[in-house]
Amino acid sequence: MTQCEFINLRNEKIAKKTIEALYKRHFEAYYARTKEEVKDKAVELIGKSDLVSWGGSMSLVQIGLIDYLLKNNYKVINRDIAANQEERLNLLRQSLLCDTYLMGTNAITTDGQLVNIDSIGNRTAALMFGPKRVIIIASVKKIMPDIDSAIKRVRNIAATTNIQRIASSREIKTPCLETGKCHDCLSTDSICSHIVITRLCNPQNRIKIIITDEDIGF
């Protein structure tokens, strides 16, 4: 076996143990090795007549799911086509009443809890309530041993990487932009207003998680 295959084997075992833990907390969860398998599984879970929306997520883009939905004429709420900020906020509000909401997660604990950090809270709001179902795409690298390490990850890896992405398109001033680590700032530019722990899925199976070996997302 190659070095890569050993890593794949290890990752698959971690993913499958985490999936067992997610089921105990009433989530629905799956393992898909490749980007193509992840996209196919997500498409299988989305109803063809669903109104679909999504939260900002590199993972969704990297597996080609957003492109697929747009090319195949799904009914979508896409805030990226908003003409201005007011229209964008309206689309974000409407997304909370869609059928299927797609997103990544910033971390998952090995005992099956989700940890997410959000700026204005549209993504974490949809995760908690509103859309009939939520489908989450997550790389195995997001799996952390416990809540403390998951929160450290969302602050020091997810948020601090995301801030570099945001700063490439608009002016932003946060200490992490300079140092690459979280300073627990109170800046008006902070993207860390909400840190949400989802410890159970209620109603059962509303949140569906596809874990992959692929190195996607932050």
Output the smallest distance, CB 131 to ligand SF4, in A. Answer: 26
CA distance 131 to 99: 5
**Would you count residue 192 as binding ligand SF4 (CB under 6 A)?**
yes
Candidates 51, 143, 176, 196: give the one binding ligand SF4 (CB under 6 A): 176
CA distance 52 to 50: 6
CA distance 51 to 94: 11
CB neighbour class for 84 (10 Å; exposed up to 12, middle 13-18, buried from 19):
exposed
Span interacting with ligand SF4, options 106-114, 123-131, 178-186, 207-215, rule CB under 6 A: 178-186
Residue number, 24 or 173, with CB nearest to ligand SF4: 173
CA distance 201 to 24: 10
Output the smallest distance, CB 162 to ligand SF4, in A. Answer: 8
Candidates 185, 194, 195, 206: give the one binding ligand SF4 (CB under 6 A): 185
Size of the site for ligand SF4 (CB under 6 A): 15
Question: Checking phi first, is residue 184 left (phi over 0); if not, alpha (psi -120 to 50) or beta?
Answer: left
Output the smallest distance, CB 163 to ligand SF4, in A. Answer: 6
Spell out the residues 6+ positions from residue 171 whose beta carbon is closer than 8 angstroms to its own: none
**Would you count residue 183 as binding ligand SF4 (CB under 6 A)?**
yes
Candidates 69, 136, 159, 211: give the one binding ligand SF4 (CB under 6 A): 159
**Would you count residue 92 as binding ligand SF4 (CB under 6 A)?**
no
Spell out, one character per residue from 122 to 141, where the chain touches ligand SF4: x when CB under 6 A holds, - when not: --------------------
- DSSP, collapsed to helix, strand or coil, labels residue 178 as helix
**Would you count residue 198 as binding ligand SF4 (CB under 6 A)?**
no
Spell out the residues 6+ positions from residue 183 whose beta carbon is closer than 8 angstroms to its own: 174, 175, 176
Span interacting with ligand SF4, options 51-59, 79-87, 168-176, 208-216, rule CB under 6 A: 168-176
Tokens 């680590």 belong to which residue? Answer: 181
Residues binding ligand SF4 (CB under 6 A): 155, 159-160, 163, 174-176, 182-185, 187, 190-192
